[in-house]
Amino acid sequence: MPKAKYDFIYKDLKSRIENGEYEFQELLPSENHLVLTYGCSRNTVRRAVAALVTDGYVQTMQGKGVRNIFEPAQQTSFTLGGIESFKESALRNRQTPRTKVLCFTELTADEKISKKTGFPPGSQLYYLQRLHYLDDKALILNHNYFLKDIVPSLTPEIAENSIYEYLENTLRISIVTSKRVMTVEKMTQIDEKYLELGDYNCLAVVSSQTYNSDGIMFEYTQSRHRPDYFRFQDNATRRPASH
């Protein structure tokens, strides 16, 4: 249930586009028209449309209109922009997620871990290894580091369900920003043991640092993906700002 008006308009337009209410390449109603149908100001409409642009759903053209460039094919993607937990993206794609906790320990960040994760040396951390299954196939091996100060009393039981649910619903931590880096790395013995890599000798690795609303980095995660099931989608726009 969206509180904000622009968010309601955004969701409404988005679902209309997804449901094929506008043809591919068709123009949406003009901003002035949308102002009348939603009974709001033009700024609010523009904000909703801007969100659709960053989603890669539409394209705005000065003097012409707003064109629908959404193609249903992109729905099949596994990972989209934005921050999403494994469970969320699995359910979005109507698949059955399962998580197995391989390792659950506490540790103190030494120099090596600090350099790898970005936590200051001496930080008290939870360290987890988790294996994520989708429809009974082991697809992702996760290495999680959580700052104990921010995420207290984490348990293997919580880790087996969704840690993000625990963070948001129980601890009321609001996740705000996440920096992600995607690379390709050679497989390790652990990868080989748990993921069925077949002929592949390397995998897709997504490393991310997550910040809470106080600007504190409380999570470092390295997700190691089976390459044949990895797909990362992105919509880029060429801003005049980038020149």
Question: Could you tell me the smallest distance in angstroms from the CB atom of residue 17 to DNA?
Answer: 14
- The two tokens of residue 111 are 């120099």
184 binds, among its own copies, DNA, none (CB under 5 to 8 A by kind): its own copies
Element (H, E) at 223: strand 217-225
Does the protein bind DNA through residue 28 (CB under 7 A)?
Answer: yes
CA distance 210 to 176: 8
Does 169 bind DNA (CB under 7 A)? Our answer is no
Could you tell me which residues come within 8 angstroms of residue 57 by beta carbon, excluding any fewer than 6 positions away? 14, 17, 68, 69, 70
Q: Is 33 an interacting residue with respect to DNA (CB under 7 A)? A: yes
Q: Is 14 in the site for DNA (CB under 7 A)?
A: no
Count of residues in contact with DNA, rule CB under 7 A: 27
Question: Binds 232, which of its own copies, DNA, none (CB < 5 to 8 A, cut-off by type)?
Answer: its own copies
* Binding of residue 52 to DNA (CB under 7 A): no
Taking CB within 5 to 8 Å according to partner kind, which of DNA, its own copies, none is near residue 233?
its own copies
Q: Which does 133 bind (CB under 5 to 8 A by kind): DNA, its own copies, none?
A: none
User: With CB cut-offs between 5 and 8 Å by kind, which of its own copies, DNA, none does residue 28 bind?
Assistant: DNA
CA distances in angstroms from 59 to 26, 54, 67, listed in the order given: 11, 9, 5
E strand or H helix that includes residue 34: helix 31-38
Report the first-to-last Cα separation within the chain, whole angstroms: 39
- Choose among its own copies, DNA, none what residue 114 binds, the Cβ cut-off being 5 to 8 Å by kind: none
Question: Which of residues 44 and 207 has its CB atom nearest to DNA in the complex?
Answer: 44
Among 63, 72, 198, 215, binds DNA (CB under 7 A): 63
In Å, the largest CA–CA distance within the chain is 61
Q: What does the DSSP 8-state code read for residue 2? A: -
Q: How far apart are CA 31 and CA 43, in angstroms?
A: 9
12, 14, 55, 60: which one binds DNA (CB under 7 A): 60
6 makes contact with DNA (CB under 7 A): yes
Of 172 and 239, nearer to its own copies (C-beta) is: 239
CA distances from 177 to 7, 54, 104 (A): 19, 17, 25
Cα–Cα dist 219/53, whole Å: 30
Residues in contact with DNA by the rule CB under 7 A: 4-7, 28, 30-33, 39-44, 46-47, 49, 60-66, 213, 240
